[in-house]
Amino acid sequence: MLNQNITGIAFRSSATVTEPWPTATTIYPNYDIYMGKSVLVQNSTNFYAENESGAQTQVRSGSLTINVNDYPAGGASSWGPPIQFSTGYNYTGGNLAILIRHDASNGTTKANNALGVSTGGYNSLFKACWQGTYAGPGGTQGNFSVIRLSSGSISLPVALTNFNCSSFGYHARIDWETASEKNMKSYIIETSFDGIQFEAIHTLPVKTESITAKKYSYTDYNIFLRTETVFYRLKMVEADGSFKHSNVNKLNFGKARSGNLVVYPNPVTSIANISYTVSFDADVSFRIYDITGKEVYSDILKSVKGNNSILTDLGHLEKGYYILKLTGDGLEDSYKFLKN
């Protein structure tokens, strides 16, 4: 399968299963699959993120329906139908990480064929761990499911050539480019604070088909007043309602402050000591913003060259996170603090 496009995954029933499964149509509301490079098996842990080596590609998302008797009774030929990917994964060699996240189904379960932890090659050629929740960050070491990967080509209505996210100030900019578009309905930008649970923040309808390159852009204003880390992905929705996701981009807030500006104590209850340094005598603009970006306090500080320290009563502020920003005569510094 080297240098081929992986397009699906299949499982087979355990040899102990004596009847086909399921006896009634079974639906998983969410059955999401991610693939990517992994660390060496002997260096792996039971925490999923620690086993990833580079970006992971979401190759499948959405619900999964398993029809009656899709899985024959146990045996060497008891493979169920392939679970097809919406985005192919180009395997170029090396260790492969496969992460499957799914909700509980509406039906019964059956054991699948697996290799136990005592099987030769476990912890050197392969390893598995599992968790009983969709969003778990890690799990317990367990059996390794016997799987069959399929390869081939996937015909997609959109050719996404670039998806990139960058930060400026307290804002995030999302850019993407396509080589062609056919039978597309919309693009949906989704965001997450933990890289697992995503929500839609913007929808851009696609009005015309295109066979030429097109560029798109969206700005998520003041996002870094609410968090220091944010994840973005692009949901590409086809005319028939089916969709696929882009890779996930992670952004960390690049703090503008040099380390000289400090607010203490942090959290603040009422009186705050604000310490900062300027390179010459100057009037410094002192502004405080809430998490929505609204200015809630401002003042002008007479500052002298070197270290400066002032006491300010912030007891009137509501509880929550705030950004203090100092600017003036070449100074631009900011500090995030919590008001209790």
Domains of the chain by range and CATH? 4-151 (no CATH), 158-252 (2.60.40.10), 262-339 (2.60.40.3080)
Burial status of residue 52 (CB atoms within 10 A of its CB: 0-12, 13-18, 19 or more): middle
CB 258 within 8 A of CB 333: yes
pLDDT at 83: 92
The DSSP string of 157-170 is SEEEEEEEEEEETT
- CA–CA gap between residue 177 and residue 118 (Å, rounded): 48
pLDDT means over runs of 10, the chain (340 residues): 83 88 90 92 87 86 89 82 86 90 85 83 86 83 86 67 82 88 90 90 88 88 81 89 85 55 87 82 86 88 83 91 81 83
pLDDT at 257: 36
pLDDT at 89: 86
DSSP conformation class of 42? G
pLDDT at 255: 41
Q: Is 79 helix (H, G, I), strand (E, B) or coil?
A: strand
For residue 49, the surrounding DSSP H or E stretch is helix 48-51
* Residue listed under structure tokens 């390179």: 279
pLDDT at 234: 94
**Of residues 71, 160, 156, 137, the one with CA closest to residue 110:** 71
For residue 96, the surrounding DSSP H or E stretch is strand 96-102
pLDDT at 50: 87
Tokens of 39: 């660390």
State how far the alpha carbon of 210 is from the alpha carbons of 179, 206, 237, 240, 299, in Å.
8, 10, 15, 18, 53
CB 339 within 8 A of CB 320: yes
DSSP conformation class of 253? -
CB 8 within 8 A of CB 150: yes
pTM: 0.50
